[in-house]
A and B are shown apart, each in its own frame.
Chain A
Amino acid sequence: MASVNLEKIVKTYPNGFEAVHGVDLEVRDGEFMVFVGPSGCSKSTILRMIAGLESISGGELKIGNTVVNNLRAKERGIAMVFQNYALYPHMKVYDNMAFGLKLAGLPKQEIHERVTQAAQMLEMEHLLDRLPRQLSGGQAQRVAVGRCIVKRPEVFLFDEPLSNLDAKLRASMRVRLTELHRELRERGEPSTAIYVTHDQVEAMTMGERICVLKDGTIQQVDSPTTLYDRPVNAFVAGFIGSPEMNIRNATVVAHDGGLGVELGDTLLPLPASFADVLSNRVGQKVQFGIRPEHIGTPQSVLGAAQHGNLATVKGTFRLREHMGNEVYTYFELGGHEFAARIPTDFAGEIDRAERGQPIELSFIMGKAHIFDLDTGLNLTVAANPLS
């Protein structure tokens, strides 16, 4: 049973490059925490520092109540799943799983019990006699997870474990891993997990909390839904969600007794709840953000009328991508390109629209975000409703 505490963790490489700038984070006991961010955001570096594979240049790392900065990897009570599985190619699956336990000097009987139990849990008893090269990608991944489970570590570390699998397998492994985590936790076994990925779908579906990183600093740590509905800045807003949030430069203007944003020649009225935070910004440039699913045809957004503040405008159609249940529609508005996700049943004229044709679109303004132009901070974070 252990939490993981990072206090002002810094990583500076010998060449002077500072990769991690004083990260503070608490991963609670039994929690499934996901580190997500674009490549080069140091998410793997932080994970490797927790694992003991990278030295910690500054700050304090605690696992449970122990400061582990100077402890070796094997003394930290962690286990790690690597991106390339990192199975020992010359050992059979059984020995791969038993290797760490043998080094720890556990009695043979107990090793056998633990390995068979883990194999049962992962439904891979039939694989125990094989060599890693005789395994498929998904099987190898399961063995890598099994190798961690047998060690009964305080903390599981996952370094992009699914990125080498094909899309279908990745989806099923995602569910499996999540289930496995819940199963361990319900049994009362230690199950704190830190999972690194660059795939925001994995982050959203697996994480109980998500830590969004950029350039070695934490942007936001929160539950997936909060992260999605109330991103603290434009980076988080743009990173989470697919297709990504439309974030375009705009000007705050007074409109009809309230406020609005002006994008080129188009004016979109803002909800009254934004008035407080934006009243002193009239005439200033900001970033206007809205997710593609909050733009639709007038028919498709009818259900969202409860959020009020529907703004219907004319855009210029550019392109559509049929996804089956949805049509991703790309259009121009006020000199900016926007993307919209529209349910196929409500696509209407968009299904037949030609490039350059004007189409009618509705913005659910209650779901919009206004970001500071320079800092990218979400000015309306408190005003956004949680779904």
Chain B
Amino acid sequence: MSSSKTMGARPRRRLPSSAEVLRTQRRERISLALRYIILSGVGLLMLYPLFWLLGASFKSNQEIFTTIWFLPKDLTQLLDFSAYYNGWMTRTEFTFATYFLNSFLIVVPRVIVTLISCTLVAYSFARFEYPGKKFLFSIMIGTMLLPPIVLRVPQYLMFKELGMIDTYWPLILPSAFAIDTFFTFLVVQFLRGIPRDMEEAAIIDGCNALQLLWHIVVPLLKPALISVALFQFIWTMNDFIGPLIYISTVEKYPVSLALKMSMDVSGEVDWANIIAISIVALLPSLTVFFLAQRYFIEGATSSGIKG
């Protein structure tokens, strides 16, 4: 204690294991345990439907509709993957391999054109001055407020005129014109948050507008573009209405339509098959999400520019 006086620092004495300290430590432990119990309980409750879904893919129809417990009564059923096999093969002439391929034929080009169009449009809104910019931007934001269903009818008629019904074009083409306003808006806001210094430095280094975009702006936008790609992937993968309206040939069905189709082929449905295949249908989105998550977090931390 005497040294603390000369050092001018806070007294650093060893904590005695007195009753008071023990009491405090016990109280802290109990409150921590309580918090964890409550949080885990709520977490489990929210995830339970997912567990149930997983378990149900190994159950018989009768068991699915009579039990709430997620594991099948007979645990050996967990080794029986026939529902996955049957679901995958479907009762049509095509397997889900076709449907997954179809889905990717829509999703991958759509993600790519979305990234390109969003970046270009956002770059112009965030970095260039031209007459009518504010007006155009507010129109763009305005379209964000429109319910998408309003556009369905005129869009359908338009694509019908263009002879694109029953092709993937109506599902991909709009994204090539940055019609996904939300994504454009997201990238614009992100870009506005990035100081212009780096771009100015690159101008002095000799970049023209396109080199600037490619060498500087796109790398800076990486975290935002990864989120755009991620959301567009998941949303397009899950999109049901779009394909339902435009695709009529079973051979061209994406996963979402094929799933629905397997439900109403006949009166008696083997639910385990459908549940099994819907779990498989979740996998691409989940995989992409977990792969991207790393960059997502990395991007969020690295974009902090020391000021």
Contact = CB atoms under 8 A, between A and B. Distances in A.
Nearest to A164: B307
Interface stretch (B30-38, B70-78, B204-212, B247-255): B204-212
Interface residues of A, number: 28
B204 A51 contact: yes
Interface residues of B, number: 22
A74 B182 CA distance: 36
Interface in A44-93: 51-53, 72-74, 78-80, 82-90
B288 interface: no
Contacts of A78: 204
A90 B204 contact: no
A200 B206 CA distance: 33
A104 B306 contact: no
Interface stretch (B15-23, B85-93, B214-222, B266-274): B214-222
A86 B198 contact: yes
A99 B202 contact: yes
A244 B60 CA distance: 89
Contacts of B220: 89-90
Interface string B275-307: 000000000000000000000000000110111
A31 to B, nearest CB: 21
B261 to A, nearest CB: 45
B93 to A, nearest CB: 49
Q: Main secondary structure on chain B at its contact with chain A?
A: helix
Interface in A94-136: 99-100, 103-104, 133
Contacts of B306: 84-85, 133, 137, 140, 164
Interface in B188-214: 195, 197-198, 200-207, 211
Nearest to A136: B306
Given A88-B198, A88-B216, A90-B222, A73 B302 contact: no
26 contacts: A52-B203, A72-B203, A73-B204, A73-B206, A74-B203, A80-B200, A84-B306, A84-B307, A85-B306, A86-B197, A87-B198, A87-B201, A88-B216, A89-B198, A89-B219, A89-B220, A89-B302, A90-B219, A90-B222, A99-B202, A103-B206, A103-B207, A103-B211, A133-B302, A140-B306, A151-B205
Given A51-B200, A86-B197, A100-B204, 15 more contacts: A53-B203, A53-B204, A73-B204, A74-B205, A78-B204, A84-B197, A84-B307, A85-B197, A85-B306, A87-B201, A88-B198, A88-B201, A88-B215, A90-B222, A147-B205
